[in-house]
Protein backbone atom coordinates (compact mmCIF):
# COMPACT_ATOMS: atom_id res chain seq x y z
CA UNK A 1 0.00 0.00 0.00
CA UNK A 2 2.86 2.40 0.79
CA UNK A 3 4.44 1.76 -2.61
CA UNK A 4 1.03 2.23 -4.24
CA UNK A 5 0.64 5.66 -2.60
CA UNK A 6 4.07 6.70 -3.82
CA UNK A 7 3.24 5.58 -7.36
CA UNK A 8 -0.05 7.46 -7.08
CA UNK A 9 1.80 10.64 -6.09
CA UNK A 10 4.19 10.34 -9.03
CA UNK A 11 1.35 9.55 -11.45
CA UNK A 12 -0.69 12.55 -10.34
CA UNK A 13 2.32 14.82 -10.66
CA UNK A 14 3.06 13.50 -14.14
CA UNK A 15 -0.54 13.91 -15.27
CA UNK A 16 -0.71 17.44 -13.87
CA UNK A 17 2.19 18.39 -16.12
CA UNK A 18 0.26 17.15 -19.14
CA UNK A 19 -2.85 19.14 -18.28
CA UNK A 20 -1.43 22.61 -18.83
CA UNK A 21 1.81 24.21 -20.02
CA UNK A 22 1.62 26.41 -16.93
CA UNK A 23 2.29 23.31 -14.85
CA UNK A 24 5.51 22.67 -16.76
CA UNK A 25 6.55 26.30 -16.36
CA UNK A 26 5.73 26.16 -12.66
CA UNK A 27 7.78 23.02 -12.17
CA UNK A 28 10.70 24.54 -14.07
CA UNK A 29 10.56 27.69 -11.93
CA UNK A 30 10.31 25.62 -8.74
CA UNK A 31 13.25 23.44 -9.79
CA UNK A 32 15.40 26.46 -10.62
CA UNK A 33 14.51 28.11 -7.34
CA UNK A 34 15.20 24.88 -5.45
CA UNK A 35 18.54 24.40 -7.19
CA UNK A 36 19.54 27.96 -6.34
CA UNK A 37 18.64 27.51 -2.68
CA UNK A 38 20.35 24.13 -2.61
CA UNK A 39 23.52 25.53 -4.17
CA UNK A 40 23.61 28.22 -1.51
CA UNK A 41 23.23 25.67 1.28
CA UNK A 42 25.84 23.27 -0.10
CA UNK A 43 28.39 26.01 -0.73
CA UNK A 44 27.71 27.52 2.67
CA UNK A 45 28.13 24.17 4.42
CA UNK A 46 31.36 23.55 2.52
CA UNK A 47 32.71 26.84 3.86
CA UNK A 48 31.46 26.12 7.38
CA UNK A 49 32.99 22.63 7.38
CA UNK A 50 36.53 24.06 7.59
CA UNK A 51 35.70 26.34 10.52
CA UNK A 52 36.12 25.60 14.21
CA UNK A 53 33.68 23.06 15.73
CA UNK A 54 31.91 25.78 17.74
CA UNK A 55 31.20 27.77 14.57
CA UNK A 56 29.99 24.65 12.77
CA UNK A 57 27.63 23.74 15.58
CA UNK A 58 26.30 27.29 15.83
CA UNK A 59 25.52 27.60 12.12
CA UNK A 60 23.99 24.13 11.82
CA UNK A 61 21.72 24.61 14.84
CA UNK A 62 20.47 28.00 13.65
CA UNK A 63 19.95 26.96 10.03
CA UNK A 64 18.43 23.62 10.95
CA UNK A 65 16.02 25.18 13.44
CA UNK A 66 14.89 27.63 10.79
CA UNK A 67 14.34 24.74 8.38
CA UNK A 68 12.17 22.79 10.82
CA UNK A 69 10.22 25.89 11.79
CA UNK A 70 9.61 26.64 8.12
CA UNK A 71 8.23 23.17 7.46
CA UNK A 72 5.92 23.44 10.47
CA UNK A 73 4.66 26.98 10.05
CA UNK A 74 4.84 28.02 6.39
CA UNK A 75 2.17 25.52 5.22
CA UNK A 76 -0.28 27.09 7.68
CA UNK A 77 0.25 30.58 6.30
CA UNK A 78 0.96 30.27 2.62
CA UNK A 79 1.26 27.10 0.67
CA UNK A 80 -0.84 24.54 2.48
CA UNK A 81 -0.82 20.79 2.20
CA UNK A 82 0.06 19.06 -1.02
CA UNK A 83 -3.34 18.47 -2.59
CA UNK A 84 -2.24 15.63 -4.89
CA UNK A 85 -2.94 13.05 -2.19
CA UNK A 86 -5.11 14.94 0.27
CA UNK A 87 -6.04 12.56 3.15
CA UNK A 88 -9.70 13.64 2.82
CA UNK A 89 -9.82 11.78 -0.50
CA UNK A 90 -9.21 8.46 1.26
CA UNK A 91 -12.22 8.69 3.58
CA UNK A 92 -14.21 6.10 1.62
CA UNK A 93 -11.32 3.61 1.29
CA UNK A 94 -10.54 0.94 3.88
CA UNK A 95 -6.81 1.65 4.02
CA UNK A 96 -5.00 0.73 7.26
CA UNK A 97 -4.14 3.98 8.97
CA UNK A 98 -0.53 3.00 9.62
CA UNK A 99 0.02 2.30 5.93
CA UNK A 100 -1.71 5.55 5.02
CA UNK A 101 0.47 7.51 7.46
CA UNK A 102 3.66 5.94 6.16
CA UNK A 103 2.69 6.44 2.53
CA UNK A 104 1.69 10.06 3.03
CA UNK A 105 4.87 10.80 4.98
CA UNK A 106 7.12 9.34 2.28
CA UNK A 107 5.08 11.07 -0.42
CA UNK A 108 5.79 14.35 1.37
CA UNK A 109 9.44 13.96 0.38
CA UNK A 110 8.52 13.49 -3.29
CA UNK A 111 8.69 16.93 -4.84
CA UNK A 112 11.00 19.91 -5.03
CA UNK A 113 10.73 20.97 -1.34
CA UNK A 114 11.27 17.42 -0.12
CA UNK A 115 14.27 16.73 -2.34
CA UNK A 116 15.87 20.08 -1.52
CA UNK A 117 15.37 19.43 2.19
CA UNK A 118 16.80 15.92 1.91
CA UNK A 119 19.98 17.11 0.22
CA UNK A 120 20.23 20.08 2.60
CA UNK A 121 20.11 17.96 5.76
CA UNK A 122 22.77 15.67 4.32
CA UNK A 123 24.92 18.70 3.48
CA UNK A 124 24.53 19.95 7.05
CA UNK A 125 25.57 16.52 8.32
CA UNK A 126 28.59 16.65 6.01
CA UNK A 127 30.13 19.61 7.85
CA UNK A 128 31.40 17.08 10.41
CA UNK A 129 33.47 15.09 7.90
CA UNK A 130 36.69 15.73 9.83
CA UNK A 131 35.28 13.92 12.88
CA UNK A 132 34.11 10.38 11.90
CA UNK A 133 31.95 9.83 14.99
CA UNK A 134 30.24 13.19 14.56
CA UNK A 135 29.74 12.47 10.85
CA UNK A 136 27.94 9.21 11.63
CA UNK A 137 25.83 10.99 14.25
CA UNK A 138 25.11 13.75 11.72
CA UNK A 139 23.85 11.28 9.10
CA UNK A 140 21.59 9.57 11.64
CA UNK A 141 20.32 12.93 12.87
CA UNK A 142 19.73 14.05 9.27
CA UNK A 143 17.21 11.23 8.86
CA UNK A 144 15.56 12.15 12.15
CA UNK A 145 15.51 15.83 11.12
CA UNK A 146 13.85 15.02 7.79
CA UNK A 147 11.19 13.00 9.62
CA UNK A 148 10.72 15.90 12.04
CA UNK A 149 10.16 18.30 9.15
CA UNK A 150 7.72 16.15 7.19
CA UNK A 151 5.78 14.67 10.10
CA UNK A 152 5.64 18.01 11.90
CA UNK A 153 4.27 19.70 8.79
CA UNK A 154 1.57 17.08 8.40
CA UNK A 155 0.73 17.17 12.10
CA UNK A 156 0.33 20.94 12.32
CA UNK A 157 -1.77 21.23 9.18
CA UNK A 158 -3.95 18.19 9.95
CA UNK A 159 -4.55 19.35 13.50
CA UNK A 160 -5.24 22.93 12.48
CA UNK A 161 -7.67 21.92 9.73
CA UNK A 162 -9.76 20.11 12.31
CA UNK A 163 -9.63 22.92 14.84
CA UNK A 164 -10.61 25.55 12.30
CA UNK A 165 -13.74 23.94 10.94
CA UNK A 166 -15.81 27.02 11.75
CA UNK A 167 -15.46 29.84 9.26
CA UNK A 168 -15.63 32.70 11.77
CA UNK A 169 -13.01 31.05 13.94
CA UNK A 170 -10.82 30.62 10.86
CA UNK A 171 -11.06 34.32 10.08
CA UNK A 172 -9.82 35.28 13.55
CA UNK A 173 -7.07 32.68 13.56
CA UNK A 174 -5.88 33.70 10.10
CA UNK A 175 -5.16 37.20 11.33
CA UNK A 176 -3.57 35.87 14.53
CA UNK A 177 -1.36 33.49 12.55
CA UNK A 178 -0.11 36.25 10.28
CA UNK A 179 0.66 38.55 13.22
CA UNK A 180 3.93 36.86 14.36
CA UNK A 181 5.28 36.90 10.81
CA UNK A 182 4.54 40.61 10.46
CA UNK A 183 5.91 41.69 13.84
CA UNK A 184 9.06 39.56 13.86
CA UNK A 185 10.99 42.24 11.98
CA UNK A 186 10.13 45.05 14.41
CA UNK A 187 10.89 42.81 17.38
CA UNK A 188 14.31 41.91 16.02
CA UNK A 189 14.94 45.56 15.23
CA UNK A 190 14.17 46.53 18.81
CA UNK A 191 16.38 43.77 20.18
CA UNK A 192 19.35 44.79 18.09
CA UNK A 193 18.80 48.59 18.23
CA UNK A 194 18.74 48.79 14.48
CA UNK A 195 21.98 46.83 13.98
CA UNK A 196 23.10 43.25 13.62
CA UNK A 197 22.73 41.00 16.68
CA UNK A 198 25.87 40.56 18.73
CA UNK A 199 27.84 37.31 18.76
CA UNK A 200 26.76 36.71 22.35
CA UNK A 201 23.11 37.08 21.38
CA UNK A 202 23.49 34.59 18.53
CA UNK A 203 25.25 32.08 20.78
CA UNK A 204 22.55 32.40 23.42
CA UNK A 205 19.87 31.88 20.79
CA UNK A 206 21.62 28.76 19.50
CA UNK A 207 22.02 27.41 23.05
CA UNK A 208 18.30 27.83 23.66
CA UNK A 209 17.31 26.30 20.31
CA UNK A 210 19.56 23.30 21.00
CA UNK A 211 17.15 22.26 23.77
CA UNK A 212 13.97 22.76 21.74
CA UNK A 213 12.22 20.41 19.29
CA UNK A 214 13.47 22.63 16.45
CA UNK A 215 17.20 22.52 17.20
CA UNK A 216 17.93 19.55 19.44
CA UNK A 217 18.55 17.13 16.59
CA UNK A 218 21.06 19.53 14.97
CA UNK A 219 23.10 19.96 18.17
CA UNK A 220 23.83 16.25 18.63
CA UNK A 221 26.77 15.97 16.15
CA UNK A 222 28.44 19.01 17.72
CA UNK A 223 28.17 17.43 21.17
CA UNK A 224 29.65 14.20 19.81
CA UNK A 225 32.53 16.11 18.22
CA UNK A 226 33.20 17.82 21.56
CA UNK A 227 33.08 14.50 23.42
CA UNK A 228 30.03 15.54 25.43
CA UNK A 229 28.19 12.24 25.13
CA UNK A 230 25.74 12.99 27.93
CA UNK A 231 24.51 16.16 26.23
CA UNK A 232 24.36 14.34 22.90
CA UNK A 233 22.22 11.58 24.40
CA UNK A 234 19.86 14.05 26.09
CA UNK A 235 19.35 16.08 22.93
CA UNK A 236 18.95 12.99 20.77
CA UNK A 237 16.24 11.84 23.19
CA UNK A 238 14.48 15.19 22.71
CA UNK A 239 14.73 14.75 18.93
CA UNK A 240 13.25 11.24 19.03
CA UNK A 241 10.52 12.36 21.43
CA UNK A 242 9.65 15.18 19.03
CA UNK A 243 9.26 12.75 16.14
CA UNK A 244 7.13 10.45 18.30
CA UNK A 245 4.89 13.29 19.50
CA UNK A 246 4.25 14.78 16.06
CA UNK A 247 3.62 11.30 14.67
CA UNK A 248 1.02 10.62 17.38
CA UNK A 249 -0.57 14.04 16.86
CA UNK A 250 -0.82 13.45 13.13
CA UNK A 251 -2.16 9.94 13.67
CA UNK A 252 -4.90 11.15 16.02
CA UNK A 253 -5.79 14.13 13.82
CA UNK A 254 -5.93 11.95 10.72
CA UNK A 255 -8.03 9.32 12.49
CA UNK A 256 -10.54 11.97 13.51
CA UNK A 257 -10.56 13.56 10.07
CA UNK A 258 -11.18 10.25 8.30
CA UNK A 259 -14.14 9.43 10.52
CA UNK A 260 -15.47 12.99 10.88
CA UNK A 261 -14.70 14.92 7.70
CA UNK A 262 -14.68 18.67 8.24
CA UNK A 263 -17.77 20.41 6.95
CA UNK A 264 -19.25 23.83 7.11
CA UNK A 265 -22.30 24.24 9.28
CA UNK A 266 -25.21 25.96 7.66
CA UNK A 267 -26.19 29.19 9.28
CA UNK A 268 -29.79 29.79 10.20
CA UNK A 269 -29.39 33.45 11.09
CA UNK A 270 -29.84 34.92 7.64
CA UNK A 271 -33.12 36.66 6.86
CA UNK A 272 -34.20 38.45 3.73
CA UNK A 273 -32.14 39.14 0.63
CA UNK A 274 -29.57 41.42 2.22
CA UNK A 275 -27.99 43.82 -0.26
CA UNK A 276 -30.24 42.55 -3.04
CA UNK A 277 -33.16 44.25 -1.26
CA UNK A 278 -31.28 47.54 -0.94
CA UNK A 279 -29.86 48.01 -4.43
CA UNK A 280 -31.72 48.48 -7.74
CA UNK A 281 -33.05 45.33 -9.38
CA UNK A 282 -30.74 45.71 -12.39
CA UNK A 283 -27.81 43.62 -13.64
CA UNK A 284 -25.39 46.18 -12.20
CA UNK A 285 -27.24 46.21 -8.88
CA UNK A 286 -27.25 42.41 -8.70
CA UNK A 287 -23.51 42.11 -9.33
CA UNK A 288 -22.77 44.86 -6.81
CA UNK A 289 -25.03 43.29 -4.17
CA UNK A 290 -23.45 39.87 -4.58
CA UNK A 291 -19.93 41.27 -4.35
CA UNK A 292 -20.80 43.35 -1.28
CA UNK A 293 -22.03 40.14 0.33
CA UNK A 294 -18.67 38.54 -0.45
CA UNK A 295 -16.77 41.42 1.14
CA UNK A 296 -18.92 41.19 4.26
CA UNK A 297 -18.93 37.40 4.72
CA UNK A 298 -16.09 35.78 2.77
CA UNK A 299 -12.84 35.43 4.78
CA UNK A 300 -10.83 35.43 1.56
CA UNK A 301 -11.77 39.09 1.13
CA UNK A 302 -11.89 39.93 4.82
CA UNK A 303 -8.24 39.06 5.36
CA UNK A 304 -7.13 41.98 3.17
CA UNK A 305 -9.03 44.28 5.52
CA UNK A 306 -8.11 42.52 8.77
CA UNK A 307 -4.37 42.87 8.19
CA UNK A 308 -4.57 46.68 7.85
CA UNK A 309 -4.61 47.62 11.57
CA UNK A 310 -1.80 45.16 12.29
CA UNK A 311 0.27 46.62 9.46
CA UNK A 312 -0.39 50.15 10.70
CA UNK A 313 0.90 49.25 14.17
CA UNK A 314 4.02 47.65 12.69
CA UNK A 315 4.79 50.66 10.49
CA UNK A 316 4.37 52.99 13.43
CA UNK A 317 6.62 50.91 15.69
CA UNK A 318 9.51 50.32 13.29
CA UNK A 319 10.02 53.92 12.15
CA UNK A 320 11.46 56.85 14.13
CA UNK A 321 8.56 59.06 15.08
CA UNK A 322 6.17 56.75 13.25
CA UNK A 323 6.96 58.29 9.87
CA UNK A 324 6.40 55.06 7.96
CA UNK A 325 2.77 55.01 9.05
CA UNK A 326 2.20 57.44 6.17
CA UNK A 327 2.49 54.41 3.88
CA UNK A 328 -0.51 52.64 5.39
CA UNK A 329 -3.09 54.39 3.19
CA UNK A 330 -1.36 53.65 -0.18
CA UNK A 331 -0.68 50.06 0.92
CA UNK A 332 -4.33 49.62 1.91
CA UNK A 333 -5.42 51.09 -1.40
CA UNK A 334 -3.32 48.52 -3.21
CA UNK A 335 -4.48 45.59 -1.06
CA UNK A 336 -8.18 46.39 -1.35
CA UNK A 337 -8.01 47.34 -5.02
CA UNK A 338 -6.02 44.25 -5.87
CA UNK A 339 -8.45 42.14 -3.84
CA UNK A 340 -10.79 41.78 -6.83
CA UNK A 341 -8.07 40.40 -9.12
CA UNK A 342 -9.18 36.86 -8.18
CA UNK A 343 -12.91 37.63 -8.20
CA UNK A 344 -13.76 35.28 -11.05
CA UNK A 345 -11.71 32.49 -9.47
CA UNK A 346 -13.47 33.07 -6.14
CA UNK A 347 -16.84 32.80 -7.91
CA UNK A 348 -16.00 29.20 -8.76
CA UNK A 349 -18.50 27.29 -10.84
CA UNK A 350 -21.15 29.88 -9.86
CA UNK A 351 -19.57 32.02 -12.58
CA UNK A 352 -21.78 30.11 -15.00
CA UNK A 353 -24.61 32.49 -14.08
CA UNK A 354 -22.61 35.37 -15.56
CA UNK A 355 -21.95 33.38 -18.72
CA UNK A 356 -25.51 32.10 -19.15
CA UNK A 357 -27.26 35.42 -18.61
CA UNK A 358 -27.11 38.37 -21.03
CA UNK A 359 -24.70 40.22 -18.74
CA UNK A 360 -22.34 42.59 -20.50
CA UNK A 361 -18.72 42.38 -19.47
CA UNK A 362 -18.40 46.06 -18.50
CA UNK A 363 -21.42 45.68 -16.19
CA UNK A 364 -19.74 42.76 -14.45
CA UNK A 365 -16.50 44.72 -14.07
CA UNK A 366 -18.23 47.88 -12.83
CA UNK A 367 -20.35 45.99 -10.30
CA UNK A 368 -17.28 44.40 -8.74
CA UNK A 369 -15.48 47.77 -8.67
CA UNK A 370 -18.43 49.51 -7.00
CA UNK A 371 -18.61 46.87 -4.28
CA UNK A 372 -14.90 47.06 -3.52
CA UNK A 373 -14.89 50.85 -3.77
CA UNK A 374 -17.79 51.21 -1.33
CA UNK A 375 -15.57 49.72 1.37
CA UNK A 376 -12.14 50.84 0.18
CA UNK A 377 -12.81 54.55 -0.48
CA UNK A 378 -13.85 55.52 3.08
CA UNK A 379 -11.21 53.21 4.57
CA UNK A 380 -8.35 54.66 2.52
CA UNK A 381 -9.54 58.23 3.09
CA UNK A 382 -9.72 57.79 6.87
CA UNK A 383 -6.30 56.14 6.96
CA UNK A 384 -4.69 58.91 4.90
CA UNK A 385 -6.11 61.66 7.10
CA UNK A 386 -5.42 59.74 10.30
CA UNK A 387 -1.81 58.98 9.34
CA UNK A 388 -1.10 62.63 8.57
CA UNK A 389 -2.61 63.78 11.86
CA UNK A 390 -0.83 61.03 13.82
CA UNK A 391 2.57 62.07 12.47
CA UNK A 392 1.87 65.74 13.21
CA UNK A 393 1.81 66.83 9.56
CA UNK A 394 -1.77 67.74 8.56
CA UNK A 395 -0.46 69.56 5.50
CA UNK A 396 0.41 66.16 4.02
CA UNK A 397 -3.27 65.17 3.77
CA UNK A 398 -3.77 66.26 0.11
CA UNK A 399 -0.60 64.50 -1.05
CA UNK A 400 -1.47 61.33 0.87
CA UNK A 401 -5.01 61.34 -0.49
CA UNK A 402 -3.68 61.82 -4.01
CA UNK A 403 -1.29 58.87 -3.97
CA UNK A 404 -3.61 56.63 -1.91
CA UNK A 405 -6.72 57.16 -4.01
CA UNK A 406 -4.62 56.99 -7.17
CA UNK A 407 -3.23 53.61 -6.13
CA UNK A 408 -6.71 52.38 -5.21
CA UNK A 409 -8.33 53.43 -8.48
CA UNK A 410 -5.42 52.14 -10.54
CA UNK A 411 -5.43 48.80 -8.70
CA UNK A 412 -9.15 48.41 -9.33
CA UNK A 413 -8.61 49.13 -13.03
CA UNK A 414 -5.71 46.71 -13.45
CA UNK A 415 -7.57 44.03 -11.47
CA UNK A 416 -10.60 44.43 -13.74
CA UNK A 417 -8.45 43.52 -16.74
CA UNK A 418 -6.38 40.81 -15.10
CA UNK A 419 -9.30 38.89 -13.60
CA UNK A 420 -10.83 38.68 -17.09
CA UNK A 421 -7.65 37.04 -18.39
CA UNK A 422 -6.37 34.76 -15.64
CA UNK A 423 -8.04 32.31 -13.31
CA UNK A 424 -6.30 29.80 -11.08
CA UNK A 425 -7.45 27.30 -8.45
CA UNK A 426 -8.37 28.87 -5.11
CA UNK A 427 -9.86 27.55 -1.89
CA UNK A 428 -13.60 27.22 -2.08
CA UNK A 429 -15.86 28.43 0.75
CA UNK A 430 -15.87 25.83 3.53
CA UNK A 431 -12.76 24.03 2.32
CA UNK A 432 -9.71 23.27 4.42
CA UNK A 433 -7.99 26.68 4.58
CA UNK A 434 -4.55 25.04 4.60
CA UNK A 435 -4.97 23.00 1.43
CA UNK A 436 -3.28 24.41 -1.65
CA UNK A 437 -4.69 23.84 -5.10
CA UNK A 438 -2.87 22.09 -7.91
CA UNK A 439 -1.75 24.52 -10.62
CA UNK A 440 -2.32 27.60 -8.50
CA UNK A 441 1.27 28.59 -7.81
CA UNK A 442 2.62 29.53 -11.24
CA UNK A 443 -0.43 31.33 -12.62
CA UNK A 444 -0.90 33.15 -9.32
CA UNK A 445 2.73 34.22 -9.00
CA UNK A 446 3.05 35.35 -12.62
CA UNK A 447 -0.22 37.29 -12.58
CA UNK A 448 0.51 38.86 -9.20
CA UNK A 449 3.97 39.94 -10.31
CA UNK A 450 2.78 41.34 -13.65
CA UNK A 451 -0.16 43.16 -12.09
CA UNK A 452 1.92 44.61 -9.24
CA UNK A 453 4.56 45.90 -11.65
CA UNK A 454 1.88 47.45 -13.84
CA UNK A 455 0.30 49.24 -10.88
CA UNK A 456 3.70 50.46 -9.67
CA UNK A 457 4.54 51.95 -13.06
CA UNK A 458 1.12 53.52 -13.59
CA UNK A 459 1.14 55.13 -10.14
CA UNK A 460 4.56 56.73 -10.50
CA UNK A 461 3.26 60.25 -11.36
CA UNK A 462 1.15 60.79 -8.24
CA UNK A 463 3.64 58.83 -6.15
CA UNK A 464 6.56 61.07 -7.07
CA UNK A 465 4.48 64.21 -6.66
CA UNK A 466 3.28 63.11 -3.22
CA UNK A 467 6.83 62.26 -2.15
CA UNK A 468 8.15 65.65 -3.23
CA UNK A 469 5.22 67.45 -1.60
CA UNK A 470 5.69 65.70 1.77
CA UNK A 471 9.47 66.09 1.81
CA UNK A 472 9.38 69.75 0.83
CA UNK A 473 6.29 70.61 2.87
CA UNK A 474 4.71 72.25 -0.19
CA UNK A 475 0.93 72.47 0.16
CA UNK A 476 0.52 73.52 -3.50
CA UNK A 477 2.42 70.46 -4.70
CA UNK A 478 0.24 68.31 -2.44
CA UNK A 479 -2.91 69.59 -4.12
CA UNK A 480 -1.34 68.89 -7.51
CA UNK A 481 -0.63 65.34 -6.37
CA UNK A 482 -4.28 65.00 -5.30
CA UNK A 483 -5.55 66.24 -8.65
CA UNK A 484 -3.18 64.00 -10.62
CA UNK A 485 -4.03 60.97 -8.46
CA UNK A 486 -7.78 61.43 -8.86
CA UNK A 487 -7.75 62.26 -12.58
CA UNK A 488 -5.17 59.69 -13.64
CA UNK A 489 -6.63 57.03 -11.34
CA UNK A 490 -10.17 57.63 -12.60
CA UNK A 491 -8.96 57.50 -16.20
CA UNK A 492 -7.10 54.24 -15.66
CA UNK A 493 -10.10 52.80 -13.82
CA UNK A 494 -12.42 53.69 -16.69
CA UNK A 495 -10.01 52.17 -19.20
CA UNK A 496 -9.64 49.07 -17.03
CA UNK A 497 -13.39 48.56 -16.68
CA UNK A 498 -14.00 49.07 -20.40
CA UNK A 499 -11.05 46.92 -21.52
CA UNK A 500 -11.75 44.29 -18.88
CA UNK A 501 -15.40 44.18 -19.95
CA UNK A 502 -14.53 43.63 -23.59
CA UNK A 503 -12.01 40.97 -22.61
CA UNK A 504 -14.56 39.23 -20.39
CA UNK A 505 -17.12 39.16 -23.21
CA UNK A 506 -14.56 37.23 -25.24
CA UNK A 507 -12.98 35.03 -22.54
CA UNK A 508 -15.92 34.22 -20.23
CA UNK A 509 -16.66 30.75 -21.70
CA UNK A 510 -12.99 29.78 -21.56
CA UNK A 511 -12.69 31.07 -17.99
CA UNK A 512 -15.69 28.97 -17.00
CA UNK A 513 -14.18 25.92 -18.70
CA UNK A 514 -10.97 26.32 -16.72
CA UNK A 515 -12.83 26.88 -13.45
CA UNK A 516 -14.86 23.71 -14.00
CA UNK A 517 -11.63 21.82 -14.72
CA UNK A 518 -10.24 23.02 -11.39
CA UNK A 519 -13.24 21.76 -9.44
Tens-digit pLDDT profile for residues 457-471: 999 999 999 999 988
Task: Supply the DSSP symbol for 92.
Answer: T
For residue 227, the tally of other CB atoms under 10 A from its CB is: 11
Position 499 pLDDT exceeds 70: yes
What integer pLDDT is reported at residue 233 of this predicted model?
92
Please write the tens of the pLDDT for every residue from 65-114.
888 888 887 766 544 444 455 555 666 666 666 777 677 777 767 777 77
Mean pLDDT of the chain: 78
Q: What residues contact residue 438 under an 8 Å CB cut-off, 6+ apart? A: 16, 83, 84, 425
Please write the tens of the pLDDT for every residue from 372-431.
999 999 999 999 998 888 888 888 899 999 999 999 999 999 999 998 888 877 766 655
> What is the rounded average pLDDT of the residues 330-338?
90
Question: Which has the closest alpha carbon to 429: 166, 173, 179?
Answer: 166
- Cα–chain center distance at 12: 24
> What is the rounded average pLDDT of the residues 237-253?
87
Position 8 pLDDT exceeds 90: no
Question: Which has the closest alpha carbon to 434: 76, 73, 24?
Answer: 76
> What is the rounded average pLDDT of the residues 136-151?
90
- How far apart are alpha carbons 461 and 466 in whole angstroms? 9
Task: Supply the DSSP symbol for 81.
Answer: B
pTM (predicted TM-score): 0.58
Amino acid sequence: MVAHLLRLKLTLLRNSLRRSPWQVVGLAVAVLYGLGALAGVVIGMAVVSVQEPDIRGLVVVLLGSLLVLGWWVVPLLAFGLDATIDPARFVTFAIPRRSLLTGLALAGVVGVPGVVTLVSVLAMAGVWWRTPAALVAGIVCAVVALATCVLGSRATTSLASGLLAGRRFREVMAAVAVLPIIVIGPVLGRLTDGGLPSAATVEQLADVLAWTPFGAVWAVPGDVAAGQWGLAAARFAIALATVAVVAVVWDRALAHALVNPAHEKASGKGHGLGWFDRLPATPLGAVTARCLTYWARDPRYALAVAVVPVLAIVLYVVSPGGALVLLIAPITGYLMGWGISADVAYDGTAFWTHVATPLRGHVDRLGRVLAAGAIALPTVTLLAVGAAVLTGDPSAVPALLGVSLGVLLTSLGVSSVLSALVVYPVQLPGENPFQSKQGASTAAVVSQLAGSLAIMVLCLPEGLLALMAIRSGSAALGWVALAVGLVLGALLLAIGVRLGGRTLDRTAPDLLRRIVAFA
